[in-house]
Amino acid sequence: MKLPSHLTVSNNNLFIGGHDCNLLASEYGTPLYVTSEDRILQNYSDFFKALKTHYDPVRILYAAKANGNLAIFRALAQLGAGADVFSTGELRLAEIAGMPHDRLLFNGSSKTKEDLALAVEKGVTVTLDSIDELHKLDTIADESRSKAQVSFRVNPAINVPTHPKIATGLSTSKFGIPHQKIIPAYMEALSCENITPAGIHCHIGSQILATEPFVKATEVMMQLACELHDLSIRFSFVDLGGGLGIPYRHGVDKAPSYREYADAVMPVFLKGIKEMNEHPQLWVEPGRSLVADSTVLLTRVNSVKEAHRRFVNVDAGFNLLIRPTMYEAYHEIVVANKADSPCTAEYTITGPICETGDVFAEGRLLPEIKAGDLVALLDTGAYGFSMSSQYNTRPRCAEVILKGRDKSLMRRKETIEDITRTMVTPPWQDEPRRS
């Protein structure tokens, strides 16, 4: 298997960012998420440069949902990134990380009154997903005598070659306003006293391994932006969303590079803005492509069982990484203490959760595995910890971040007390039982 440059093998041991995974696992315990900050910063600056080659006013809004750890937010904030936030929690994290409010976009298909009120109070631009939401926001802004800056999320009705659960711009998706109804939506916004249309937004899906769907979406977006410009609407930004995939199957999947993405999409964007004779900021909202390959999930082998298959029972389960269970997602696996040993046997890697679906990988050819070995699941930085749960009353694991020779916890392991702290037993259970 071909490893990316931040993953190396020395003396049969797997290293991430120059740190031995086996030593990290011994020091911090397992399961353990380990993230290379350097890799994230490299990904960010590669994307930024690829876009900047074509156009200057570019802003990258990190899609907070991909990995919500504050340390990652802060690292990206320090480079000038903003954030696509999808909840008040994500908005709060972005604030704590030091991202200014004008670098945030509050997305979401079902926002509460409180969500909208917070966006208005903080002066964060809101992406609207319905006309209902437009009027709700107008009323909220009126009550606080403010103006709300908005964009509408366009549903461009584009089929994308990805898992159906993460295709978001299909004509049947729950997200956005059908592209045929976008012009009336902006007209309605203009009739609202407390609303200022500031931009236009779309996001067609995630883990997309071709440039064509992005090109098609950009065509729809620029066509709409030009039509709206003719109707005297001036945008300060055009947001093309996120969605660029990564090659989870190393050496098999082919993901467009940032340069290939930019070279495909930017001519369409530039043609559109030339027609408008305007220079709105270009916003993109990558999540996965910035953080996925920065991280490994280390998990210790509890036991190996010969049954109708050879099972490797590890100490991480789908409570920590749900992608294989939820999306049949593939993650490369390296036995971190036998990284250069010949692959001689087929294994099915399973977790400790009480569900048949708690399987990370089936029929993988790996070196001979024994209890106590350390398994590394690669490319787990996006939608890994951020989609974790405490199912089976399992405290979530720790996360470590690496930068150069430095290493630090970026989240401690949870305890059982962390789980029970929010539980309340009703008073009648304390009363003596009447017979």
Ligand X SMILES: Cc1ncc(COP(=O)(O)O)c(C=O)c1O
Residues at the interface with ligand X (CB under 6 A): 63, 65-66, 84, 107, 203, 206, 241-244, 285-289, 382
Cβ proximity to ligand X: between 50 and 398 the closer is 50
Instruction: Write down the least CB distance from residue 245 to ligand X, Å.
Output: 7
C-alpha closest to that of 348 among 394, 303, 295: 303
Instruction: Write down the least CB distance from residue 83 to ligand X, Å.
Output: 10
Cβ proximity to ligand X: between 285 and 315 the closer is 285
Instruction: Write down the least CB distance from residue 226 to ligand X, Å.
Output: 23
Instruction: Write down the least CB distance from residue 191 to ligand X, Å.
Output: 26
Cβ proximity to ligand X: between 21 and 321 the closer is 321
How far apart are the C-alpha atoms of 276 and 136, rounded to whole Å?
31
Please check whether residue 199 is in contact with residue 236, taking contact to mean a CB–CB distance below 8 angstroms. Answer: yes
Cβ proximity to ligand X: between 244 and 349 the closer is 244
C-alpha closest to that of 178 among 194, 159, 200, 154: 154
Instruction: Write down the least CB distance from residue 283 to ligand X, Å.
Output: 10
Q: Which residues contact 49 (CB under 8 A, 6 or more apart)?
A: 258
In 153-208, which ranges are continuous DSSP H helix?
A: 182-190
**354 tagged catalytic:** yes
Q: For residue 388, is it left (φ>0), alpha (ψ between -120 and 50) or beta?
A: beta
Catalytic residue among 192, 226, 354, 397: 354
Cβ proximity to ligand X: between 165 and 305 the closer is 165
How far apart are the C-alpha atoms of 266 and 201, rounded to whole Å?
16
Q: For residue 330, is it left (φ>0), alpha (ψ between -120 and 50) or beta?
A: beta
How far apart are the C-alpha atoms of 357 and 317, rounded to whole Å?
10
- Positions annotated as catalytic residues are 354
